[in-house]
Chains A and B, each alone.
Chain A
Amino acid sequence: MTEKPSTGNISLMKIFLSNRGNLRNFKSFVESLDLSNPKRLEVTTHDKWVTVHPANLVIVAALAIQAGKENTEIIGHIPETGRYLDRMGLYELMNTPSPFAYQKKEEAGRFVPIKLINNSDDQSRFISDVIPLLHLSEKNALVVKYVIGELVRNVLEHSLARDGAVVAAQYYKKTNRVSIGICDTGIGIWKSMNTHWHPRNDIDAISLALTPGITGTTRKDGGTAENAGAGLFFIKSIAKITRNYFVIYSGSAQYTLLKHRKRIKGMPRLYADPMRDPHNKTNNSPSFQGTAVAVDISLDETPEFNDLLSSIGDFYDKAIRERKRAKYQQPKFI
């Protein structure tokens, strides 16, 4: 791996885009971030090959938008594969002209470049007009619409982000997989959960947010008229059943749901407690003022959506029932 170029003692955010930018390595990507000064951003890449998951891309984009274009740059030697950053629209957000020139026809591909979604009308337009860029079958498009619909809505409703949700997605033909990244620079999950749940720290807040039936808007069973505490649990479960990665990064915590091994037969088992799922987590990552969520969806592994929902829904009911029962009074035996 190449050394990250140094900018001396000037305090700024530094992000290095490596040649291993997938969700399996999300934890190391997060640990490599220097977010010390949100007012300036400097991006460097591996000098021979750069691979960027939409998760990494939307984090860079969200921080660039927050810092303001004039305070951002991409420096150092960018390899030919860095052309992808241009295609995905990153250079448009940075104060560095793209070194890549290419024919418009090369832009045809199955990806959703970086998009900003500021309100529910933007979201509906994105769902109807932009997701078709992935050229998925109706069945597969439905899963992607569902995932993006829920995740973007979370940002619009809970993040209080000034700049809305930053979204990008990519279809990978070789693995028949869609990768989705969504990021905001809002209040983060801890603050969002704190009003009703008082999590001890960022990783506890993420854990609560992933637990079925827990919403940041109330402690009441059944949630409110607007929120049930199901959205993130459903998305994590979709990732688990389709044997994929799912990540959340907020504040100083990151949680990665690890891939369910293919050699384990049968449908992966769901758990109400995200810490029972195979995962890695940290609670001392560089502090990120906001939330990033990303998921991979293997289209080969995706059952009929109806069956997928049914399995998750059944488990959700069970989890809600168990949560209620846990509150029941117990007889006193002597």
Chain B
Amino acid sequence: MKKNIILRNEIGDFAENKDTAKRLRIGIIMPALLVGDEVIIDFEGISGATQSFIHALISDPIRDFKEVAFDKLVYKNANNDIREIISIVYRYMQESLVGNDSDQTGSER
């Protein structure tokens, strides 16, 4: 199964609303990863994003699902700026996971 998130339908052309990120994370991304579904996050029409937005969208999925998240989360139509921010979040989340216990989450779930 695939879940498609078309961000332009959820936010304006700049992705900064962390409430929206949280809603998408809790409502779509986490449940989809839990059952092993692929999640395609489509950035078409989005000119930029804050690090905070991307962190709120994907840090918990990476922390909780690790390899499943790396395998099943796919980013579509992300411009270079957005790719850079996603890459930054991937790097520091993996860095923070090394040697950490799984109970070190701040998840609200």
Residues of chain A having any CB pair with chain B under 8 Å:
120-121, 123-124, 127-128, 138, 142, 145-146, 149-150, 153, 157, 213, 217-218, 220-228, 230-231, 234, 305-306, 309-310, 313, 316-317, 320-321, 324
Contacts and interface: CB of A to CB of B under 8 A. Distances in A.
Contacts of A220: 100, 104-106
B100 A124 contact: no
A306 B17 contact: no
B97 interface: yes
A321 B91 CA distance: 10
Interface of B: 11-14, 16-20, 22, 25, 47-48, 50-53, 55-56, 59-60, 63, 80-81, 84-85, 87-89, 91-93, 95-100, 104-108
B106 A224 contact: yes
Contacts, number: 129
A128 B14 contact: yes
Given A124-B16, A220-B104, 15 more contacts: A128-B12, A138-B47, A142-B48, A142-B81, A146-B48, A220-B106, A222-B96, A223-B106, A225-B25, A230-B55, A306-B84, A309-B81, A317-B95, A320-B95, A324-B98
14 contacts: A145-B14, A146-B48, A150-B16, A157-B18, A222-B63, A223-B106, A228-B52, A228-B92, A231-B51, A305-B48, A317-B95, A320-B95, A321-B95, A324-B98
Contacts of B17: 120-121, 123-124
B63 to A, nearest CB: 6
A313 B96 contact: no
Given A305-B48, A309-B85, A226 B56 contact: yes
B88 A225 contact: no
A146 B95 CA distance: 24
